[in-house]
Structure 1
Amino acid sequence: MAITLYDLCGRDERLRFSPYCWRVRMALAHKGLGYETIAWRFQEKDALAFADYDKVPVLTDGDTVVTDSFEIMRYLDRAYPEAPVLGEGVSFQRVQFFKYFVERSVTPALFRIVAMDLLAAIHPDDRAYFRETREARFGASLETVHNPEQGRQQLKQALAPVRTQLQESLFLDGEAPSGADYLLFGSMMWAYTVSTEQLVEESDPVSAWFARMLEVHDGVAEKAITIRDL
């Protein structure tokens, strides 16, 4: 069966920056699964009508359609149980907790660092939509939300437990990356892809971890097009 991933793109179709799509891309690489991507933009809702969903990622695997990045990762574990990403039972509960931590503590800090860079990276036809929806979500203009120095301080504080863990192991999941690593990396890669802003200090263990994550799975992330290449 052919696997297809509907993947958010920016002003250049090669620029793929969604944190949730990056979770899935890393999970697919972890399992050694081949797949094709279909570039998708924010307002192309009709293209996802078959999935009864209005955002990406959407994954199709033959006749199976799966939406939501975390549910896609769960599906991949069930359909392709070799090299599990999330696990089951207690392991799953722990990685689900980490998912909530990333989404509610790390991602908002990153958004504050790169908000205006993200707007510039989006296709011009999508910028008004992006501004309207995100300003409604934050209750403030993007210019007000965008505060890189404050965002870095917020991120540094949020990543304190991650930093401690990475002082003891190469990856969050041990000697090799897995689900927790991909959840955090998705958000970090999102910011790295659209902005040249420094996210963490070079001496931070998180910086070394991110460099390692770029290289894993034959450098699938390192080879990705970023704003630096455009």
Structure 2
Amino acid sequence: MVRILYTLCGADPDIRFSPHCWKIILALRHKGLDFEEKPVGFTEIAKLENGFSKTVPILKDGDKLIADSFAIALYLEQTYPDAPSLFKGEGGAGMARFVEAYSQSTLHPAITRIALKHIHDMLSPVDQAYFRESREARLGSTLEEVATGREAEIAAFADKLKPLRVMLKSQPFIGGSEPLFADYIVFGALQWAFKTGNPDILDANDPVMNWFERCQGFTETS
């Protein structure tokens, strides 16, 4: 059986940047599960698996299809209980829900404003048109107008990670001695920024960067 993970990419299929997809790439590696990654552009998503979902990631596991990163993580935990745990119990799942809320309410809006124009420029022409129309309608501003605030967002970004930085004084991962899905949630957000050409959002000596690299090494992320 081939396990398939559909993910998001730019014009170059080797550049996968969706934070939600990266969560599941790391989750699958954490579980030690083989999978084939199939990256697609924005406008190809609706064609996948007979229009199963408007967003990626989509996991196809045998005859089972699952969308939404948190739902996929729960599915992996329930379906493969003998593999290393992503949550280590109900408390870990609850912690991950909190971290997800923090990431999406605090980190994601900032990274959107930092990376928006960069994301547009790395897409294929058809995806650029879709991305511009949908994001400008959502934000009420042109991509260029949003981009004018990029430097200010970068200057303020490190402080948004202060809770993680303080926690890292006591333990190496959000999950404790080893990363759990809660770690991969924040990792995905930062990977999104880095993969879209924004290496300057954090100082190389920031403890958060050290944590990020430990997460990479733990799951052999490429």
Normalised to the residue count of structure 2, the TM-score between the two structures is 0.92
Gaps of 5+ in 2: none
Contact 2:11 2:41 in 1 (8 A): no
Q: Does 1:117 align with 2:118?
A: yes
SS of the residue corresponding to residue 132 of structure 1 reads helix
Cα displacement (A) at 1:87: 4.1
Distance 1:179 1:119 in 2: 29
- Letter of the structure 2 residue corresponding to residue 144 of structure 1: E
Contact 1:114 1:191 in 2 (8 A): yes
Distance 2:64 2:128 in 1: 32
Distance 2:90 2:45 in 1: 35
Distance 1:197 1:189 in 2: 10
Pick the aligned partner of 1:150 from 145, 149, 152. 152
Greater CA drift, 1-10 or 145-154? 145-154
Greater CA drift, 126-135 or 88-97? 88-97
Distance 2:113 2:210 in 1: 22
Alignment of 1:60-139 (within 5 A): 60-81=60-81, 82-139=83-140
SS of the residue corresponding to residue 47 of structure 1 reads helix
SS of the residue corresponding to residue 43 of structure 1 reads helix
- Letter of the structure 1 residue corresponding to residue 173 of structure 2: F
Distance 2:130 2:51 in 1: 22
Q: 1:59-94 deviations in whole A, cap 9, x for unaligned? A: 010011100111001100001112111344232222
Distance 1:190 1:46 in 2: 22
Alignment of 1:1-230 (within 5 A): 1-50=1-50, 52-81=52-81, 82-146=83-147, 147-217=149-219, 219-220=220-221, 223=222
Could you tell me which residue of structure 2 aligns to residue 227 of structure 1? none
Cα displacement (A) at 1:46: 4.1
Distance 1:176 1:62 in 2: 29
SS of the residue corresponding to residue 198 of structure 1 reads helix
Q: Percent identity, please.
A: 35
Distance 2:34 2:89 in 1: 24
SS of the residue corresponding to residue 42 of structure 2 reads coil
Q: 1:12-32 deviations in whole A, cap 9, x for unaligned? A: 111111111100000000011
Greater CA drift, 207-216 or 54-63? 207-216
RMSD in angstroms over aligned alpha carbons?
Answer: 1.6
SS of the residue corresponding to residue 38 of structure 1 reads strand
Cα displacement (A) at 1:45: 3.9
SS of the residue corresponding to residue 209 of structure 1 reads helix
Cα displacement (A) at 1:152: 2.1
Normalised to the residue count of structure 1, the TM-score between the two structures is 0.89
SS of the residue corresponding to residue 11 of structure 1 reads coil
- Letter of the structure 2 residue corresponding to residue 195 of structure 1: G
Distance 1:125 1:79 in 2: 37
SS of the residue corresponding to residue 66 of structure 1 reads strand
Gaps of 5+ in 1: 224-230
